[in-house]
């Protein structure tokens, strides 16, 4: 059996991955006793969740807390996937991180491409200028896709997210995104912009989705990759 430690994002996270969920403390109640009390009584409201017995009529199977109605749970009382992980990142920090990344990638690429194809006049609608605009935009988009895919699958953070102390995590275990998840997330965020008109509308809906998504504040690219953005502070 190989003793190699799996690379972050390659499938199975390494056991020493600092981003893995922290194990939960066992319930109080004494060794060998019931986790619900020394007398072995079930918790108030019925038997413990997860034993196949539906909760009493009218009772929320997921409880009334922040993560009620867990969409990733498969049975009554399914554990909250965020248990043992840092709190969700604020939307403001996520926005600023995106702006930082856009500047880091966009400005140098646009300057280099302008030097190669000639200065682009973004106010002009001539065929020559439209062609230059499409070329510069396409290259910028490709570079951003590669940048985000590599950064997410290697450490779960872009430079912007590092600056804002947030990170992308697999919802299932809190680890650095796998290769498939990281690249899928980057592609769903970046590539729709290629499609004229409709692409921008999808991109706009995508980035705004986290403002009303419950309970994990996921954008559509997070839902596609099954990731969440959490605090790294």
pLDDT in tens, 72-104: 444 444 567 888 889 999 999 999 999 999 999
Q: Pick from 24, 59, 80: which residue ends a domain?
A: 80
Between 44-48, 156-160, 169-173, 218-222, the lowest mean confidence (pLDDT) is in: 44-48
Would 23 be classed as within a structural domain? no
- Looking at residue 30, what is its pLDDT? 46
Is the pLDDT at 124 greater than 60? The verdict is yes
- Looking at residue 177, what is its pLDDT? 97
The per-residue pLDDT of the chain, averaged, comes to: 79
Residues 178 and 118 in one domain: yes
Residues 76 and 103 in one domain: no
Residues 161 and 116 in one domain: yes
Alpha-carbon distance of 89 to 230, in angstroms, equals: 4
Find residue 166's DSSP bridge partners. Answer: 231
- Looking at residue 162, what is its pLDDT? 97
In sequence order, the 6+-apart residues with CB closer than 8 A to the CB of 26 are 35
Alpha-carbon distance of 3 to 22, in angstroms, equals: 23
Calculate ∠ Cα 101-198-228, nearest 5°.
45
Would 168 be classed as within a structural domain? yes
What total number of domains does the chain contain? 2
Domain region containing 60: 35-80
Would 184 be classed as within a structural domain? yes
- Looking at residue 8, what is its pLDDT? 47
Residues 129 and 72 in one domain: no
Would 99 be classed as within a structural domain? yes
Residues 108 and 146 in one domain: yes
Q: Which is nearest to 171 in space by CA: 14, 17, 18, 21?
A: 21
Q: Which of 57-61, 103-107, 114-118, 134-138 has the highest mean pLDDT?
A: 103-107
Would 160 be classed as within a structural domain? yes
Q: Which two tokens stand for residue 174?
A: 């809190």
Would 220 be classed as within a structural domain? yes
Residues 42 and 127 in one domain: no
- Looking at residue 81, what is its pLDDT? 81
Between 28-42, 87-101, 138-152, the lowest mean confidence (pLDDT) is in: 28-42
Alpha-carbon distance of 158 to 150, in angstroms, equals: 9
pLDDT tens digits for range 177-203: 999 999 999 999 999 988 877 888 999
Please tell me the pTM assigned to this model.
0.69
- Looking at residue 19, what is its pLDDT? 73
Per cent of the chain over pLDDT 70 is 67
Residues 187 and 102 in one domain: yes
Residues 114 and 198 in one domain: yes
Alpha-carbon distance of 155 to 135, in angstroms, equals: 30
- Looking at residue 56, what is its pLDDT? 55
Alpha-carbon 177 to chain mean position: 8
Torsion, Cα 47 53 55 56, to 10 degrees, reads: -90
Residues 161 and 54 in one domain: no
Q: Which two tokens stand for residue 194?
A: 């290629």
Residues 109 and 156 in one domain: yes
* Ramachandran angles phi, psi of 179, nearest 5°: -55, -50
Q: Pick from 45, 80, 115: which residue ends a domain?
A: 80
Would 174 be classed as within a structural domain? yes
Cis peptide, bond prior to residue 72, ω within 30 of zero: no
Q: Compute the radius of gyration of the chain from its Cα atoms.
A: 23
Residues 161 and 46 in one domain: no
Residues 101 and 73 in one domain: no
- Looking at residue 197, what is its pLDDT? 78
Q: Pick from 25, 59, 80: which residue ends a domain?
A: 80
Would 3 be classed as within a structural domain? no
DSSP 71-89: TT--STTPPPTTTTSPPBP
Between 51-65, 167-181, 206-220, the lowest mean confidence (pLDDT) is in: 51-65
Alpha-carbon distance of 175 to 62, in angstroms, equals: 24
């Amino acid at each position: 059996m190989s003793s190699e430690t799996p690379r972050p994002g390659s499938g199975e996270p390494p056991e020493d991955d600092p981003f893995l969920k922290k194990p939960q403390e066992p319930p109080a109640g004494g060794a060998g006793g019931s986790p619900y009390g020394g007398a072995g009584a079930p918790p108030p409201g019925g038997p413990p969740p997860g034993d196949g017995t539906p909760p009493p009529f009218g009772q929320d199977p997921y409880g009334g807390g922040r993560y009620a109605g867990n969409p990733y749970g498969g049975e009554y009382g399914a554990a909250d996937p965020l248990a043992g992980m840092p709190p969700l990142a604020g939307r403001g920090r996520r926005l600023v991180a995106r702006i930082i990344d856009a500047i880091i990638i966009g400005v140098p690429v646009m300057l280099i491409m302008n030097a190669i194809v000639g200065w682009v006049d973004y106010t002009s609608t001539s065929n020559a200028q439209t062609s230059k605009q499409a070329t510069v935009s396409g290259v910028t988009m490709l570079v951003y896709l590669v940048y985000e895919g590599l950064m997410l699958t290697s450490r779960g953070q872009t430079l912007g997210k590092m600056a804002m102390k947030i990170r992308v995590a697999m919802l299932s275990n809190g680890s650095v995104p796998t290769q498939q998840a990281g690249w899928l997330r980057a592609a769903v965020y970046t590539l729709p912009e290629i499609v004229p008109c409709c692409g921008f509308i999808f991109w706009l809906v995508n980035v705004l989705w986290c403002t009303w998504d419950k309970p994990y504040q996921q954008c559509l690219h997070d839902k596609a990759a099954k990731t969440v953005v959490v605090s790294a502070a």
